[in-house]
A = this chain, B = another copy of it.
Amino acid sequence: MFLEKQFLQMPGPTPVPPQVLRAMSQPMINHRGPEFKELLEEVTTGVQKIYKTENAVLIFPAAGTGGLEAAVVNFISPGEKVLVASIGVFGNRFAEIASKFGAQVEKMEFEWGTAVDPAQLADRLASDQAGEIKAVIVTHNETSTGVINNLPAIRQAMGNHPALLIVDAVSSLGAVDMRTDEWGLDVVVSGAQKAFMLPPGLAFVSVSPKAWAVAEKCTNCKYYWDLTAAKKYLEKGQTPYTPAISLLTGLRESLKMMQAEGLDQAFIRHARLRDMTRAAMRTLGLRLMAADDIASSSLTSVYAPEGIEANKLRKVVREKYNVILSGGQQKLDNKIFRVGHLGWVQPLDIVATVAAIEMGLLDCGCSIELGSGVRAAQQVLRS
């Protein structure tokens, strides 16, 4: 059985507040009736505000990965060239999905732990005189490394190139600023189980007018992920097939909480949680994966000390102190651990997490000064 009082410090799923759990416990309703229409309209408008967009936002009963698939099959036709700027596992996943659906994928890879270099992107696009590249795909916040890309700089790097800009914002939206319209983002995918403080099971996709025009001519196969059908149904307050009603009633509540805190305040809180985590890890002598100027507000990737297996440290921290950290993915497995600090997380959660990591390090035979990381986090909190 689960221990009810765990510190779930992962970059998703994130802890769900009790009021959201309660909101998910509403009785079922008719998804073709007037109460559902009201619910769908309310949450759609609420999500649009977080996106800072006038674009339509469609909500799917799906994991975030489903939103990525929707972003491919609606806007990229088989044989078309797309440029995927990848800085980690989720950039590669987006590339793989595009490739699976017949796109000619050109991957521009950057070392894991670094961000997309807009200058390099600008060069590549400038050389595409024929306009062969139909879409640029980029991850806003790379969950595997804890690096955030500079979307306005990426948009600027595209200049007048006609490609769509398609963004995976699953682990960023709500934790950092996202100005979909101001920044000119054509398709932005996000999900519920990160900064939105919900259990997994909802994917969001926003679509610009320019992207809708592309969708009209897109020849890829789709049914479940058909955004045009979803938009048509949304206009009458419905979905093409049965929606995940309990997650939507939960979303209504989490949007209320997000509004009550205020978006700007949420961004400040997430940045502070990041700074506390980073100061603490540095004080403990641990190496961080991302440089300060590209460090994610959603999670922090930390190298395990020399000679210590990251997964062993995570196991000790979980079993002895009930704090759940994420591991490294793929080539980072057993090398790093990841501390999630997004969603329903407050500063003292990070203090507790740092304390657990300190004790775990000692348990693993690492020599550190107990409380020193905690003190560094406290100092950030009071600064």
Interface residues of A (CB under 8 A from B): 1-2, 4, 6, 8, 10, 12-16, 21-22, 24-33, 35, 61-66, 69, 96-97, 100-102, 191, 193, 199-201, 220-224, 240-247, 318, 324, 326-327
Contacts and interface: CB of A to CB of B under 8 A. Distances in A.
A200 B243 contact: yes
Nearest to A4: B27
**Which applies to chain A's interface (DSSP): helix, strand, loop or mixed?**
loop
B33 A318 contact: yes
Most chain B beta-carbon neighbours within 10 Å: one of A33, A199, A220: A199
A326 B30 contact: yes
Contact of A65 (B28, B224, B324): B224
Contacts of A63: 61, 224, 241-244
B24 A200 contact: no
A245 B318 contact: no
A31 B13 contact: yes
Contact of A69 (B1, B8, B223): B223
Contacts of A222: 100
Given A2-B26, A200-B243, 8 more contacts: A6-B27, A16-B27, A21-B24, A61-B61, A62-B66, A69-B223, A100-B222, A102-B221
14 contacts: A8-B29, A13-B31, A13-B245, A15-B27, A24-B246, A61-B63, A61-B66, A63-B242, A63-B243, A63-B244, A64-B241, A65-B241, A69-B223, A96-B223
A201 to B, nearest CB: 4
Copies of this chain present in the complex amount to 2
A22 B22 CA distance: 9
Given A27-B6, A199-B246, A242-B193, A69 B21 contact: no
Nearest to A70: B224
A314 to B, nearest CB: 10
A15 B28 contact: yes
Contact of A326 (B2, B8, B32): B32
A243 B247 CA distance: 13
Given A96-B223, A221-B100, A28 B199 contact: yes
B65 A242 contact: yes
Nearest to A13: B28
Nearest to A99: B223
A246 B33 contact: no
A100 B223 contact: yes
B14 A2 contact: no
Contacts of A15: 27-28
A326 B28 CA distance: 14
Contacts of A199: 24, 28, 244-247
